[in-house]
Every structure is written in structure tokens, then in C-alpha cells.
Structure 1
């Protein structure tokens, strides 16, 4: 007779001792429930994932795109950290700029300078979810600013940017409808 080991004992020895094995259904519940709970809680704690509730991706103090000057991407072709001294509030977030000139340019046409998808990662948006973006991982495509989670993600995203943008635009419409501004 074949012996099947269960928790260090053979099935035959369990029968002799009057020990019963838990049913498969009960075992699955005992294993899967805590595993799924841990996975769910773990996903909520992943630093790169943004649990979007705001139209603009912002830090806990309400600062948009980690305080970077969104106009500088267009005028200086580089990522520049902004200053509290030159700030502007738009769509519930505080935007920081490196100069009064940049602040005033943004204030005159925020849609022109604001990153697409509220500053969330463009690559994540393709798959229909939000993730925090790294302001150092950026590109301007057809006059629009796109941020990504990392330089590696940016390189992947760039390899097929036109298709990625089309998909992300579609997803953003759905996600944006569920966000509060």
C-alpha cells in the first residue's frame, strides 16, 4: 500500500491514530485567505503604486510632481526642482516653479504645461492603473509632457510611444472619471 506523507506522518498512520486530514476545501481556505490578504495589503504598501484619489498625482502635502517645475521641461529641456517661493495652486495641487516667469507661464495655460494623466506614470496608465512617476523620467511627445516611474520604464515606453499614448489616453478617461479634484 502506498504511503502518502502529510505533515510528517503517513496517511496510514493517521488512520490508525484516528487523526483525520482537513478537507481540501478547508486547507485551501486556511492557506489562500491569509495569502490573499497579505498580497492585497502588500500591494497597497508598494511605494511605486499610487492609490489615486486625486486628479493630480501629489505628495501628502499637496505638492504636484514632487515639486519639479513643469514649465522647465519645455523651456529648459531638463527636469528642474521648483521652489516654494514660486508656487501656484491648480486642480487642488500646489505646483512649484524655478522662477516667477515659469509660474506665470503655467498660470496662463496650465493644460499646456501640466504632465499628461495628472502626473501619474504614463506606462502604468496603459494598463489602466495609476503609479507614482519619477519627474526625472520624462519625455515631451508632440508638445505634451509624459512622466514615467523610472528611466528603465521610460525606455520601454518610448519604444512604442505612439501606441502607448493611444492606450493610456483611453484608460485615463475611465480613471479620471473616478477621481476627485
Structure 2
């Protein structure tokens, strides 16, 4: 584990398929708690994606640019289907930072099944953000502690928006306005100029 006196950086990987108002709220909320935040789009081996990784990266980049905070950066070079590989890259990139790996409460139960989960948890601070509609179970926290995590709960809550709802319902109400031109340009998720 990194030195507690080191400055922290929040690391948030996401499928960004597409980024929603929930992603925007999460990134903006992390900036209230961390001096530096890095995010990237990645392929999740447990999901089928609705758009190619480069398109999802472009969407996330547009969202990051719209937030327009110099403490927030897109770090697409960290992208990997496996969190442990991402963390290794982050350690190389920020050897002088305490790495805080951020997940939503909906993912807490999955972490023990991740590749090299115990090694991952030994090398970072696990930060869990409550996501509306996905309460964090005490049993899940106990399992995480048992495999080496010291989970930190952030005092914030992210709206229960879901990328899957945007894809399934083909509605833009959960989509940040800055992303609509790109979604239409690339005809992503069934949206086009005749069905915005």
C-alpha cells in the first residue's frame, strides 16, 4: 500500500456505453473529494458493448472536456479489460500518488471474482460510491475486507441512471447534452437525425 502522506488520485474506469448523467455526476462528485481524477473507457469482459471502444472513448473525452476542470483528465492509456493491468499502468504513470480505485456500489459484489482481485486490493485504496437503486450489502463489504480491501465509502450518491437503459429505451433523457451530436453523427445506440 502506498504511503498515506502521498497525494491521492481517483481512478475511474467505465464502459462509457454511453456515458450518462450518472457518469457526469460521479466525475463532478469525485472532483469534490480528490485533487486529481483520471478516467478512461474500457471493455468489460462481463458485458456486451453497444459501441466500439474508440467511439466510447470519444464520448467520454467529450464529457470530460465539457466538465472543463484541469484536475480531471482522460487517461485512455490505462484502459484494459482487467483492473489489475490498469492499476499496474497507473503505478508506472503516477509513482508519487496514492491510487484510489473507484467503483459504484453496483460493482462491489463482482470485485472478488475479478482477475487477481486480492493483489489489486493490496495495491490501492478501494473507493465505493453509492449508486441509487444499488444498495451496498454489509456481506459484500465483509467479503471485500476478507480479501484485503479497506473500503472507503464516499459521502455522495450517484443517480441510478444506466447506460443499458439508454441503449434499450433509445431515449436521450439520461444522456449529457454535450454527447448528443456525437451519438447522432455516428448513429450510435439506434439514434439518428430522424430519431434523436
What TM-score do you get using the length of structure 2 for normalisation? 0.21
Q: Which has the larger radius of gyration?
A: 1
Report 1 or 2 for greater relative contact order, CA contacts < 8 Å, sequence distance ≥ 6: 2
Q: Which has the higher helix share?
A: 1
What TM-score do you get using the length of structure 1 for normalisation? 0.22
